[in-house]
Amino acid sequence: MKLKSLFLSLLLAVPALSFAQEIGIQTYSLRNQLPDDPEKYYNMIADWGIRAIEGGGMYGMSQEKYDQVFRENNLRIIGVGADYNQLLRDPAPIIAEAKKHGAKYATCYWIPHQEGPISLDEIKVATALFNEVGKTFKEEEITLLYHPHGYEFSPAGKGVVLDWMLDNAENFAFNMDIFWVKMGGGDPLKIMKKHKGKFPILHMKDRQIGTPNSMDGRADVETNVVLGTGDVGLAKIIKEAQKQGTEYLVIEDESSRSVEQIPQSVAFIQSILK
């Protein structure tokens, strides 16, 4: 009975503890390296201590070789892309790709719109689409995600366009890129706290101090710096992700220095998670 009481006490204490997060990588970070030598760079990802892959790609490898590299390095695909126009036409190929890899998530990274900030009407159309096709994804045990890209922060009512989407997201969640949210003038930490539980994946990306905001979803990729050295405020965001049970902290470094920076960024995340 004493042992049972101790077990129950520990079980009840769990909500007060932090949830475990896994560090992942978006392979766009190595878009200039993977095509030249995919085996080398997939091995390198594993050497960095990363096992969760968002994106992936065979880059000329045979299926047999690709499977071997992933198996030997204990790598796995946790998320695939979900092109907006494909979602409009037919989500089936996206679902098939996710199921092929055993991926739980499919992310739409961009909503087609005129150059500059997206309008509230356009975000309403996109939200309706995501809610509708999101039902189909749920039936296949896949979660459809949207990746804010900085153009969703034009004023709308008492808030911004993204607020409307967050408030009305029923059958999809968010893969929030904290760099782009910051670029658009948003506060990633405040957004997370206001909409708890809607961020199973975060794109971990820091911004060079002094970088001006932009609301068109465009930025100089060289402003991507080692995590923890920029102005995004990553430490508090990681702590909030722990509280909320965010599943994956996915590093996306678009700079030309990504190979050098990513191991430093992994070390920073690990230091906060400890």
> Is the separation of the CB atoms in 94 and 83 below 8 Å?
yes
Per-residue pLDDT tens over the stretch 68-91: 999 999 999 999 999 999 999 999
What are all long-range contacts of 8-13, with beta carbons under 8 Å and residues at least 24 apart? none
Domain 19-30+50-273 has CATH 3.20.20.150: yes
Token representation of residue 87: 């979602």
Over pLDDT 70: what percentage of the chain?
93
Length of the chain: 274
Q: Which residues pair with 54 in a beta bridge?
A: 26, 79
Q: Rounded to an integer, what distance in angstroms lies between the CA atom of residue 105 and that of residue 151?
A: 23
Is 60 exceeded by the pLDDT of residue 230?
yes
What pLDDT band is residue 144 in, cutting at 50, 70 and 90?
very high
- 3 state DSSP class of 111: coil
Q: Rounded to an integer, what distance in angstroms lies between the CA atom of residue 238 and that of residue 86?
A: 33
CB neighbours of residue 245 within 10 Å: 14
- 3 state DSSP class of 150: coil
Which residue from 252, 243, 234, 258 is spatially nearest to 107, judged by alpha carbons?
Answer: 252
Residue spans of the domains in the chain: they are 19-30+50-273
Which residue from 173, 164, 170 is spatially nearest to 201, judged by alpha carbons?
Answer: 173
Over pLDDT 90: what percentage of the chain?
92
Q: Rounded to an integer, what distance in angstroms lies between the CA atom of residue 184 and that of residue 149?
A: 8
Model pLDDT, residue 89 = 98
Alpha helix ranges (H) inside the chain? 2-13, 38-47, 63-72, 84-89, 92-101, 120-139, 161-168, 178-183, 188-194, 234-244, 258-273
Model pLDDT, residue 11 = 37
Q: For 33, phi and psi rounded to 5 degrees?
A: -110, -45
Per-residue pLDDT tens over the stretch 1-51: 444 344 334 333 434 334 479 999 999 999 999 999 999 999 999 999 999
Is 50 exceeded by the pLDDT of residue 103?
yes
